[in-house]
Amino acid sequence: MDKIFLIEDNPDHALLITKGLASDGAEVIYYPDGQSALGFLEKEKQPENLPVLVMLDLKLPGMDGFEILQRIRSNSRCKRIPVVMLTTSKYKQEINRAYELGASGFVTKSEDFSELLGKLARVKDYWLKTVEKPDAGG
């Protein structure tokens, strides 16, 4: 079963996003902060336990999405995992910075639930069904 890690501090957003991503054999594993997700990613030795996709909020308590993205990209076992920023931000400088740090995509959360579900379905289909995945674990 494909694992998607969702790093999102807003529990209401997390619930909606999880509903939009959890189908077709995908398991969404929710982390309310970056530190807990990084703790798992940095300690996990089994490639099959790593996610095939990380959905990462930008505005998080403690460590922001940019810092988490940098840590994921600096981890040799995780650097190939697609990381899609999923945030309310539309600031060009934040979008540019995310891509400069190695984000695989940048999606803005829509306030319209059906529009958000459509975006999530397209992201999931692209990363889980359309593109070829590299070997797990770098």
Helix (H) or strand (E) holding 54, with range, is: strand 53-56
pLDDT in tens, 35-52: 999 999 989 888 888 999
Helix (H) or strand (E) holding 27, with range, is strand 26-31
Domain residue spans in the chain?
2-130
| Residue pLDDT, tens place only, 60-97 | 989 999 999 999 999 998 999 999 999 888 899 999 99
- Identify the pLDDT of residue 113: 85
Of 85, 71, 80, nearest in space to 7 by CA = 85
| pTM, two decimal places | 0.92
For tokens 């289909």, name the residue. Answer: 125
Find out if CATH 3.40.50.2300 is the number for domain 2-130.
yes
pLDDT at res. 74 = 95
